[in-house]
Amino acid sequence: MTYPTRTLPMAALALVLSTGVALGHGDVTPQPVNTDGLPELTDGWEFENPFRDPSGEYWERALRIGSSAYSQNCARCHGLEVVSGGLAPDLRFLMAEEMDDEWYMERVRRGSGDRMPAYEDLMNQQAMWAIRTYIETRPDPDAMAEHMDRLRAIRDGLRDKQEAIAAGTATAEEYSDEIADLHEELSAIAVTIPTMSGAEKADSIARRAANILAAGGERSLREADETLTVGLSVSR
């Protein structure tokens, strides 16, 4: 089986370094994963991702915990945002179904070969499934590519609004209709983006930015800008 490789753009590299994660094979202390808010899994090891259902109670939380746990523990080998730079397999190709869940769990628990570490003693089962949830919801880059120009334009527009507010020539309230429209547009884009794993719902930057803008206000402009900026630089 071969895996497509992608090079890590500079912005992504800067993010990797700034989050304290080292690239390459140096010793990196595994980070404990806080799984507060996820349910106890008391029936032994699950065969299938218990957080998979996007309409389920725990999907959003699993995604958030998984995103951070992945960045701290897996990204240095498997790539930022699960876009492999070639050091290790691209995990986006694992199917979101029981067979590949088993394959995933086996490798994460016990490791594989001499470069994939075993995590059984380092994190609990909830953390492993949270990371699984994050991995399987990565958006299809080809589908994202079609929206990049528009997402970049939206990002630039968010920046203009922040500048106008900073300069005192406009207020966040005056932009509330426009922000609501952008929320709608980003949500509409988000639902067209598939995953590569077959998982039902992709966690794209369009989805994240739409969620942030739902809150409205100046802070949402800044956070949506940041989310789009990081995403635009990583998913190229």
Binding interface with ligand HEC (CB under 6 A): 73-74, 76-78, 88-89, 91, 104, 107-108, 112-113, 115-117, 119, 131
Number of neighbouring beta carbons within 10 Å of residue 216: 16
d(CA 108, CA 158): 40
Closest CA to 177 of 156, 161, 153: 161
Q: Residue 100 or 225: which CB sits closer to ligand HEC?
A: 100
Q: Residue 59 or 104: which CB sits closer to ligand HEC?
A: 104
User: CB 116 → ligand HEC: shortest distance, Å?
Assistant: 3
Q: Residue 29 or 169: which CB sits closer to ligand HEC?
A: 29
Q: Residue 122 or 232: which CB sits closer to ligand HEC?
A: 122
User: CB 104 → ligand HEC: shortest distance, Å?
Assistant: 4
CA distances from 56 to 41, 52, 70 (A): 15, 8, 21
Residue with tokens 């988000």: 190
User: CB 22 → ligand HEC: shortest distance, Å?
Assistant: 10
User: CB 128 → ligand HEC: shortest distance, Å?
Assistant: 7
Handedness of CA 56, 97, 117, 110 (dihedral sign): positive
